[in-house]
A and B are shown apart, each in its own frame.
Chain A
Amino acid sequence: MHASLEQLRERIVDLLPRLRRFARTLARNPHDADDLVQIAVERALSRSDQLRADASLSSWMFGILRNAWIDETRTRGRRNQVFAPEELGENVGDDSSSSHADVLSVQDALARLPDEQRIAVGLVLVEGLSYKEAAEIMGVPLGTLTSRLARGREALQGLLADTTGAQ
Chain B
Amino acid sequence: MTFSEETLMAYADDELDAQTRSAVEAAMASDPEIARRVAKHKALRSKLRVAFDAVLDEPTPQRLVDTARGVPAVRREGNVIPLRRRNTTRKVWPQWTAIAASLALGIIIGQVVLSRGPGAGPITARNGLLLANGVLAHALTSQLASENAQNPVRIGVSFKARSGAYCRTFTLQASQALAGVACREQDDWHVQVLAQSAAVPQSKGNLVQAASEMPRLVMQAVDDTIAGDTLDAQAEAAARDKAWESGSHGTDATSPR
Contacts and interface: CB of A to CB of B under 8 A. Distances in A.
A17 B92 contact: no
Contacts, number: 126
B9 A153 contact: yes
> Interface size bucket, A side?
35 or more
B17 interface: no
Interface in B1-30: 5-6, 9-10, 13, 15
B39 A165 contact: yes
B67 interface: yes
A125 B56 contact: no
Contacts of B53: 21
Contacts of B64: 16, 20, 34, 37-38, 41
Contact of B9 (A34, A107, A126, A150): A150
B75 to A, nearest CB: 15
A24 B49 CA distance: 12
A165 B34 CA distance: 11
A91 interface: no
Interface string A94-122: 00000000000111001000000000010
A150 B13 contact: no
Contacts of B56: 17-18, 21
Q: Chain B contact residues: over half helix, strand or loop, or mixed?
A: helix
Contacts of A150: 5-6, 9
A31 B44 CA distance: 26
B60 A153 contact: no
A9 B64 CA distance: 11
Interface of B: 5-6, 9-10, 13, 15, 36-37, 39-41, 43-45, 47-53, 55-56, 58, 60-61, 63-65, 67-70, 85, 90, 92-93, 95-97, 99-100, 103
Interface of A: 9-10, 12-13, 16-18, 20-21, 24-25, 29, 31-32, 34-35, 37-39, 41-42, 45, 72, 75-76, 81-82, 85, 105-107, 110, 121, 124-126, 128, 130-131, 146-147, 149-150, 153-154, 156-157, 160, 162, 164-166
